Chains A and B, each alone.
Chain A
Amino acid sequence: GQNIDQPTEMTATEGAIVQINCTYQTSGFNGLFWYQQHAGEAPTFLSYNVLDGLEEKGRFSSFLSRSKGYSYLLLKELQMKDSASYLCAVKNDYKLSFGAGTTVTVRA
């Protein structure tokens, strides 16, 4: 089975940094994805990790430790438009299993 855990909600101030953790226990692993989803909209791809380490993309970075079943998404220089849900998803055998998502609220 698949078990993917992430916090339900996080709040941060504009300009700050927020780290969203994701832990997983899955029957297989072909990579970990992070998606952003604004309320009522489609999820959009943010990052992909398949090897251990940090992947950086502008203000967003994602880290993976396969031995610990752990990933995090780091959002720097937070902007109001970053208020959204962030979904952690593990790929196994060409299928994605999603966590329930973390709702990030950015306050002025």
Chain B
Amino acid sequence: DADVTQTPRNRITKTGKRIMLECSQTKGHDRMYWYRQDPGLGLRLIYYSFDVKDINKGEISDGYSVSRQAQAKFSLSLESAIPNQTALYFCATSTSSVKREQFFGPGTRLTVL
């Protein structure tokens, strides 16, 4: 089955460390997104990309950067992790049709000590 995968699934790190979360998809979708989810706050968009040469900031991009290495790969980096970046991170993909839903990966649970 075409799928969205994320690695790692769980990560515990220390304040100040650099962390990279990776997302791969076999759906052939052009568009990819990174969200974080915190209890009581819902999903918030960090960055999104509509194709390999397109990168856009979402509502909470400070402290994060992304790289779209290929159509199928979109990685999220925390250059210097801090405790309030502890959250559940989801990657998602979609086609270019405005009517179509986004498909989410299984998530990465990140804890920054």
Contacts and interface: CB of A to CB of B under 8 A. Distances in A.
- Please indicate whether A and B come from the same complex rather than being unrelated chains: yes
Nearest to A101: B42
B34 interface: no
B64 interface: no
Interface residues of B, number: 23
A43 B98 contact: no
Main secondary structure of the interface of A (DSSP, over half): strand
Interface string A14-53: 0000000000000000110100000011111100101000
Interface in B92-113: 98-99, 101-107, 109
A74 interface: no
Nearest to B107: A42
Contacts of A48: 99, 101
B54 to A, nearest CB: 11
B43 A87 contact: yes
B contact patch SS: strand
A87 B42 contact: yes
A101 B88 CA distance: 15
B68 interface: no
Nearest to B6: A42
Nearest to A30: B98
Given A42-B104, A45-B101, A48-B99, A96 B42 contact: no
A31 B98 contact: yes
Contacts of B42: 4, 87, 98-101
> Shortest 10 CB-CB distances between A and B: which pairs?
A42-B104, A45-B101, A100-B42, A98-B43, A98-B42, A30-B98, A43-B104, A42-B106, A101-B42, A99-B42
Interface of B: 31, 33, 40-45, 48, 50, 58, 88, 90, 98-99, 101-107, 109
Given A41-B107, A50-B99, 14 more contacts: A8-B40, A31-B99, A40-B88, A42-B105, A43-B90, A48-B99, A48-B101, A89-B43, A94-B98, A96-B33, A98-B42, A98-B43, A98-B44, A100-B42
